[in-house]
Structure 1
Amino acid sequence: MSDTPFGFSNPDDDPERKKPGGESGSSANDPFGFLTGGAGGAGGFDPSQLGQMLSQLGAMFSGMGQPGSQSGPVNYDVAKRLARQQLGSSVTPVTEGTQRAVTDAAHLAELWLDAATTLPAGATKTVAWTANDWLEETLPTWKRLCDPVAEQISGMWTSTLPEEAKQFAGPMMGMLSQMGGLAFGSQLGQALGQLAKEVLTSTDIGLPLGPDGTAALLPTAVSEFSAGLERPESEILVYLAAREVAHQRLFVHVPWLRQQVLGAVEDYARGIRMDFSAIEEAAQGIDPMSLSDPSKLEELLSQGTFEPQTTPEQKAALERLETLLALIEGWVEVVVTDAVGDRLPGAGALAETLRRRRATGGPAEQTFATLVGLELRPRKVREATALWRRVTTDAGIEKRDGVWAHPDLLPDSADLDTPAAFIDTLIGGGTTAFDDPLAQLAETEAREKLERDQKTEGSGDGPAKGDDA
C-alpha cells in the first residue's frame, strides 16, 4: 500500500517521445506533449499519444469494476467490494448474548459517567458491530472525508492540460474520471478492509465515524485486543464502552463539534498541492510499456515524486485538527478515569495501553494517513489530559464541561503548552466569557433546536413560494 493519499499516481507520466527515425526530439522533457501544448514537436499536439495513454490506463484498471456504476470522484462500489474481500467469510456474526453483553457494559458505563460529567447520555442506542457492519455504517463519513482529496487530485491532472488537449480529450474526460475513481476506490477498499479488522469502537480513531447517537463496539476486535492484556475481557469491555459513550456525550451535546472536526479534515484535504515540475522530471525516460506493469508503477510511486506538498493552509488546518482531537481525547480520558475510579482496577493500565497504541501509529493511524494524507496522531493528548485534570481540580466539573459551550472558549495549542493563564481566566481572571458557560451551552442547544424546528415547519408543506424546488 502506498504511503501517499490513495497511492497518488499520475496519468500524465509517459515516456520520452521520439521523432520518426528514432531521434530524440525537443519534446523529451514534455511527456505526452501536453505540458507545452506540443509546441516542441514538429507536428504539435499528437492525439495518438492520448489514445495510447487511455489504452494503458484501461488495461491497468480492467477487471476492477464497471465504470458505469460510479458517481463522484471515488468508485465506492469497488471500495466496498475490495474491503469485503479482505474481510473474507471469517467475520464472526454477533450473537444475542454478545449484543446483550455490549448493551449491559454501556449501560453500566453510563451510570458511572453521570457522576463524572454534566453532559447527559448522548447515545440513543448501543450496538455490537461486525467488521462488515463497521464498513457499512461508517462509509458515509469516509465519503465526506475522501471526496475532497479525490476531487483535488482529479482537478489537478485536468488543469495541467493545454487548451487544445482539453478540447480533443473533452469527450474522454469522463473515462479518465472513471478510471481515477477506480484507482481511488481500490486504495480506499484496501485501507478500509484493514482498518475494519482493528477498530474497537465507532470513535476509536477520534473521529465521529458512525451515525449520530449510536454507540458501537466491535466484540471480535475487542476480544483480540484483550488477548494480550492481563485483565478480564469483561472489564476491558466496560472500559471501552465507557470511552465510547463518553465520546457520544460530547459529540451529541456539543452541536458544533462534529462539524468542526470533520471540517478541519476537509480543509486539510482541500489544501493539497502537487509539484508538477518534479512529476514532469520523473516522467522523462520512462518506458511506455512500464505503465501497464503494476510493479513498475509501484517503483515509480515509491520515489516520492507524487507526494503532495504541504501548504500553509494545510499546516493551519492540521494544527486546528490536532489540538481539537487532543482536547477531545484528553477530556474523555479524564472523565472516564473519574467515572470508573476504583471500580475497574486495570483502568490506568488500559488508558496507557491505548495511548501507546495511538502514539506508535497503529493500523488505524497508518490507514488514515493513506486515505486522507495526514497523520491522525494528536501529539498533545498528554498535555490536554493534564489541562482538563487541572481544570477539574481548580474550577470544578461544571466550568470544565461548560468550556465546550462554544469553540471560542476552548483552549488553543499555546494553552496546552502553558495552561496556567487559561485556568486563571476560567476560575475568575476578570473576563465575562466564562461567567456562566453552562447557561451558554443551554442557550446554544436551544438555538440549534429552534433552527431545526423552523426548518422542519418550513419544509412541511413543500418548498415555499419563490424557493428552488
Structure 2
Amino acid sequence: MSDTPFGFGLPPEEPENGDEGKKKDPTESGQSAGGPGNPFGFGPGAGGDNPFAAMFGAMNPNDLGAAFQQLGQMLSYEGGPVNWDMAKQIARQTVSQGTADGSKDASVGPSERTAVDEALRLADLWLDGVTSMPSGSVSTVAWSRAEWVEASLPAWRQLVDPVAERVGLAMGDVLPEEMQAMAGPLIGMMRSMGGAMFGQQIGQAVGTLAGEVVGSTDIGLPLGPAGKAALLPLNVEKFGKDLSVPQDEVRLYLALREAAHQRLFAHVPWLRSHLFGAVEAYARGIKVDTSKLEDVVGQFDPSQPEQLQDALQQGMFQPEDTPEQKASLARLETALALVEGWVDAVVHEAAKSRLTSADALRETMRRRRASGGPAEQTFATLIGLQLRPRRLRDASRLWASLTDARGLEGRDALWEHPDMLPTAGDLDDPDGFVHHEQADFSELDKMLGEAAQGSGTAAPEKSKPAEGEDGENDSAEDGTDEGKDGRDR
C-alpha cells in the first residue's frame, strides 16, 4: 500500500509538456503548501500530494471565496462513506484535461457510432459459432470518455463503498463509548472530510482510467449497464496506434471481447454478484490501524483540517492481511482468470480464421491484462485489490481443452453453478481436470442413456419392470453424487 490518504495512493501525476524532469518546489512562491500560511494548500505553491490542492489547483485570490464555499460543502457533507458528487465532479474535470499523451476527449460523431455498432453486431454473429450462449447485448453504444465516467460510477460505488464504510466506522470506534457523545461534532467533521477525500481520490482515478479503457468490461467486471455493449472510439484508436494493425481489425477484435463478456455476464446470473461479493468480503475483513487514528483524534484542531490529511497520508488506514481477505482475494483472482480465460478462448476461436492479426492482438491483450494495466492499478489504488488474472493463460488453455473434449455446450455448462467451475488447483493441472471431467461426463451420459432405454422398454420378456425403474433411480443418484464430487473439487 502506498503512503497516501487511506493507504490507497494514486500514481504520481504526469509532468506537463516541456516540464519533464522538472520538480516543482512548493516554496517557490514564498508559501509552503499546506503550511501555516496556506493551511488548505490553495494558491501558488500548492503541493501535488494535497487532495485539496489537487481539487482547487493554483488559485487566484479572487477565487478564494469560492474555494472556501466548496470547502464548507465538503465539511457539511452528510451522505455515505464517499462523497460521490465530488467524485463525479473530479472525474469529469480530469477527463476534460486530457491524457498524458495530449489526447483530448471529444463527442462521438455519427460515423464513429456507426462503425462501433457494425463492429459489435458483426462480433455477435461470429460468436454464435463458438459458444452456446446467445447474445447478451440488448443495445450497442459508442461512448466518449465522459460518458463512460457517467455510466460506470454506479458500479464503482458498489465496489468502493464497502471499503470506505469500514474506514468511516473506524473513525467513530477509536474513542471510548462515554466520550463519543461529546466528540460527536468532531467525529462527524472527520467523517465528512474522509468522504470528501475518498471522493476526490476516486474521481481522479476514475477520470484517469477513462483515458485508457476501450469498453465496459476491460477489468473483467461489468462496469456499465447490463446488456449494453460499449466501445470508446477514441481509446480504441489509441490502443491500436502503435500496433501496425488495420484500425478496422483492432475495433472488431475489441468488439469481440466486449460482446463475449456481455454474453457471459448476461447468461451466468450469479457471476456478477460472485465477483462483487468477493470485494465486499474483503472489506469485511479489513483492519484499520486505530492507534494512529486515536492520536490524531486526540490532537485534532478543527481550524486546521490539514492535520487530518497529514495523518491520512502517513498510512493510517493500512489494511492487514487476514485469512478472510486472503481467501476472498484467492476466490476473486481465480474467478477473474476463468472469466478472462473463457473470453480469450472463444474470441480467438472466432477471430483466428477471419482476422489476419488475431494472434498479435491476442498477445497484446494478454500482456495488458496479465501485467497489470491501468485498470488493475486503479482498483489497487481505490480498494487495495489486485484484479490481475495471473492465471489467464492456464485458464484459456483449460477452456480450449474442454471445448475439444466436451464441445461448446459441455464447456459452457460448467458456468451453471460456481461449484462446477475449475478451482485454483485445477488451473495447475488443466489436462488432468479436462480428462477427469470428460470421464465423468461420458460415464454420466452412458448411465442416462441406459436409464432412458430401460424405462422405455415395456416388454416383460426383455427385462423385469422393476429393473428399469431401479436403473433410472440408480442413475439419478449416481448423477447427484457425481455433481457433488464436482462441487467438492
Query: TM-score normalised by the shorter chain: which range applies?
Result: 0.7 to 0.9
Query: What pairs with 1:214-363 in structure 2 (closer than 5 Å)?
Result: 214-277=228-291, 304=315, 306-363=317-374
| 2:132 match | 118
1:128 touches 1:218 (CA, 8 Å); kept in 2? yes
| 1:429 match | 440
2:137 touches 2:229 (CA, 8 Å); kept in 1? yes
Displacement of 1:389 after TM fit? 1.2
Answer yes or no: is 1:406 the counterpart of 2:417.
yes
Q: Deviations over 1:239-260 (max 9, x none)?
A: 0000000000000011111111
Displacement of 1:163 after TM fit? 2.0
Displacement of 1:58 after TM fit? 13
Q: Deviations over 1:235-286 (max 9, x none)?
A: 00000000000000000011111111111112112221123346668x7999
| 2:73 match | 66
| 1:128 match | 142
Alignment partner of 2:229: what SS? strand
- Change in Cα spacing, 1:98 to 1:379, as seen in structure 2 (3 Å) is same
| 2:375 match | 364
- Change in Cα spacing, 1:136 to 1:329, as seen in structure 2 (3 Å) is same
Query: What pairs with 1:415-454 in structure 2 (closer than 5 Å)?
Result: 415-429=426-440
1:382 is aligned, of 383, 387, 393, to 393
- Distance (whole Å) between structure 2 residues aligned to residue 217 and residue 275 of structure 1: 41
- Change in Cα spacing, 1:250 to 1:434, as seen in structure 2 (3 Å) is farther
Q: Unpaired runs of 5+ in structure 1?
A: 10-55, 437-469
Displacement of 1:159 after TM fit? 0.9
- Change in Cα spacing, 1:354 to 1:70, as seen in structure 2 (3 Å) is farther
- Change in Cα spacing, 1:83 to 1:344, as seen in structure 2 (3 Å) is same
The amino acid that maps onto 1:103 is: D
2:8 touches 2:380 (CA, 8 Å); kept in 1? no
| 1:392 match | 403
- Distance (whole Å) between structure 2 residues aligned to residue 326 and residue 262 of structure 1: 15
Displacement of 1:174 after TM fit? 3.3
- Change in Cα spacing, 1:119 to 1:287, as seen in structure 2 (3 Å) is closer
2:84 is aligned, of 72, 76, 82, to 76
- Distance (whole Å) between structure 1 residues aligned to residue 249 and residue 112 of structure 2: 14
Q: Deviations over 1:115-163 (max 9, x none)?
A: 0000000000010011111111111111111110111011112111112
1:366 touches 1:375 (CA, 8 Å); kept in 2? yes
- Change in Cα spacing, 1:176 to 1:280, as seen in structure 2 (3 Å) is closer
2:215 touches 2:232 (CA, 8 Å); kept in 1? yes
Deviates more, 1:359-368 or 1:236-245: 359-368
Identity percentage of aligned residues: 52
Displacement of 1:386 after TM fit? 1.1
Q: Normalising by structure 1, what TM-score?
A: 0.76
Displacement of 1:69 after TM fit? 5.5
1:122 touches 1:253 (CA, 8 Å); kept in 2? yes
- Change in Cα spacing, 1:356 to 1:211, as seen in structure 2 (3 Å) is same
1:126 touches 1:216 (CA, 8 Å); kept in 2? yes
Displacement of 1:342 after TM fit? 2.0
Q: Deviations over 1:439-464 (max 9, x none)?
A: xxxxxxxxxxxxxxxxxxxxxxxxxx
Deviates more, 1:345-354 or 1:330-339: 345-354
1:181 is aligned, of 195, 198, 202, to 195
- Distance (whole Å) between structure 2 residues aligned to residue 433 and residue 198 of structure 1: 47
- Distance (whole Å) between structure 1 residues aligned to residue 321 and residue 254 of structure 2: 35
Deviates more, 1:248-257 or 1:156-165: 156-165
Query: What pairs with 1:49-64 in structure 2 (closer than 5 Å)?
Result: 63-64=70-71
Alignment partner of 1:177: what SS? helix
- Change in Cα spacing, 1:284 to 1:148, as seen in structure 2 (3 Å) is closer
Alignment partner of 1:191: what SS? helix
The amino acid that maps onto 1:317 is: S
| 2:458 match | none
2:87 touches 2:200 (CA, 8 Å); kept in 1? yes
- Distance (whole Å) between structure 2 residues aligned to residue 190 and residue 130 of structure 1: 17
Q: Unpaired runs of 5+ in structure 2?
A: 10-38, 43-50, 53-67, 98-103, 449-489
Alignment partner of 1:397: what SS? helix
- Distance (whole Å) between structure 1 residues aligned to residue 244 and residue 105 of structure 2: 25
Alignment partner of 1:343: what SS? coil
Deviates more, 1:317-326 or 1:303-312: 303-312
- Distance (whole Å) between structure 2 residues aligned to residue 107 and residue 3 of structure 1: 46
1:200 touches 1:219 (CA, 8 Å); kept in 2? yes
The amino acid that maps onto 1:73 is: P
| 1:25 match | none
| 1:141 match | 155
- CA RMSD after TM alignment: 3.1
Give the count of matched residue pairs.
387
The amino acid that maps onto 1:194 is: T
1:95 is aligned, of 96, 99, 109, to 109
Q: Deviations over 1:355-394 (max 9, x none)?
A: 2112222221111111111111111111111111111112
Q: Normalising by structure 2, what TM-score?
A: 0.73
Displacement of 1:425 after TM fit? 3.1
| 2:210 match | 196
Q: Deviations over 1:303-355 (max 9, x none)?
A: 55532111111101100000000000000000000111221111111111112
